[in-house]
């Protein structure tokens, strides 16, 4: 089968008005959450979280359906859609445990669905990378594993520096930090492949979303070790911004492929 043709000229620039609206919405949400009581803040966080996560999944399914007959895009975006649908289920479970049942939401079965986002996202990234860049150069083989190593080292240094011991929460957090930062590495590599093509903008936006999500995850697991996470914490809004960016990135993919 002949590969799909990808235009070399970048014809779909970022609409910075949309980026500004995303940032304005994030600031407004943060201010709103900080001025609500704990229970109401939790309810608002739940609604926005599951809504934006589901939107990412549905947008991915739309792109996957549109390009299902293609050699790579349909399968890649199906994986991305399944990853965020799993994340949506995780959000439902997490807030059900936390807000409705009043039981421990971390760790819980919700983490299984949270974690599933990473392998599905990696499938999406690797399928695209192998299709457009089947031969890995020497440098990517060096820095792709270097990013997870740095993330895990920083996380470990901060955590062990406080507790001076390796406990369950530490190891549990390392698993997610490693998965998130590995996904980030492949997203960066993907962005370098498409930076000069028509997909460059979409991949840049995808990278930004993945980076924000990975940063949020690292931040969150550090907070959980010290019991400092709450619904109005800025890391919650960071995840929302990541989702908004992802939605825009998916729109750009649909617009430019």
Please write the tens of the pLDDT for every residue from 41-98.
888 988 999 999 999 999 999 989 888 888 788 899 999 999 999 999 999 998 888 8
Whether residue 8 has pLDDT greater than 60: no
**Could you read off the pLDDT of 103-113 as tens digits, one per residue?**
887 788 999 99
Instruction: Give the closest residue to 247 by CA, choosing from 220, 208, 197.
Output: 208
107 within 8 A of 48, measured Cβ to Cβ = no
Please give, one letter per residue, the 3-state secondary structure of the chain. Answer: CCCCCCCCCCCCCCCHHHHHHHHHHHHHHHHHHHCCCHHHHHHHHHHHHHHHHHHHHHHHHHHHHHCCCCCCHHHHHHHHHHHHHHHHHHHHHHHHHHHHHCCCCCCCCHHHHHHHHHHHHHHHHHHHHHHHCCCCCHHHHHHHHHHHHHHHHHHHHHHHHHHCCCCHHHHHHHHHHHHHHHHHHHHHHHHHHHCCCCCHHHHHHHHHHHHHHHHHHHHHHHHHHHCCCCCCCHHHHHHHHHHHHHHHHHHHHHHHC
| pLDDT computed for residue 89 by the predictor | 96
Pairwise CA distance, residues 94 & 97, whole Å: 5
| pLDDT computed for residue 6 by the predictor | 46
Q: Which carries the bigger pLDDT value, residue 169 or residue 74? A: 74
Question: Stretch 176-185: mean pLDDT, rounded?
Answer: 89
**pLDDT tier at 197, thresholds 50, 70, 90:** low
Whether residue 149 has pLDDT greater than 70: yes
Highest mean pLDDT among 6-15, 88-97, 184-193, 225-234: 88-97
Whether residue 151 has pLDDT greater than 50: yes
Whether residue 165 has pLDDT greater than 80: no
| pLDDT computed for residue 119 by the predictor | 96
Q: Which two tokens stand for residue 241?
A: 């911004």
What is the longest distance spanned by two Cα atoms in the chain? 58
| pLDDT computed for residue 234 by the predictor | 94
């Amino acid at each position: 089968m002949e590969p799909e043709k990808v235009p070399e000229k970048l014809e779909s620039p970022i609409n910075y008005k949309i980026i500004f609206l995303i940032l304005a919405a994030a600031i407004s949400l943060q201010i709103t959450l900080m001025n609500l009581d704990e229970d109401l803040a939790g309810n608002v966080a739940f609604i926005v979280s599951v809504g934006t996560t589901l939107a990412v999944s549905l947008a991915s399914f739309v792109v996957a359906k549109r390009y299902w007959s293609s050699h790579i895009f349909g399968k890649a975006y199906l994986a991305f859609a399944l990853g965020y649908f799993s994340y949506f289920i995780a959000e439902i479970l997490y807030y059900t445990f936390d807000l409705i049942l009043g039981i421990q939401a971390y760790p819980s079965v919700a983490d299984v669905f949270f974690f599933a986002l990473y392998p599905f996202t990696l499938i999406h990234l690797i399928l695209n990378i192998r299709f457009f860049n089947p031969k890995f150069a020497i440098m990517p083989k060096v820095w792709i594993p270097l990013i997870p190593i740095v993330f895990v080292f920083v996380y470990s240094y901060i955590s062990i520096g406080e507790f001076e011991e390796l406990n369950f929460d530490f190891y549990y957090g390392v698993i997610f930090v490693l998965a998130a930062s590995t996904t980030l590495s492949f997203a960066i590599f993907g962005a370098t492949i498409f930076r000069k093509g028509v997909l460059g903008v979409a991949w840049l936006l995808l990278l930004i979303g993945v980076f924000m999500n990975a940063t949020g995850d690292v931040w969150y697991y550090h907070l959980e070790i010290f019991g400092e996470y709450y619904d109005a914490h800025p890391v919650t809004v960071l995840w929302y911004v990541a989702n908004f960016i992802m939605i825009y990135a998916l729109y750009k993919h649909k617009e430019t492929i």
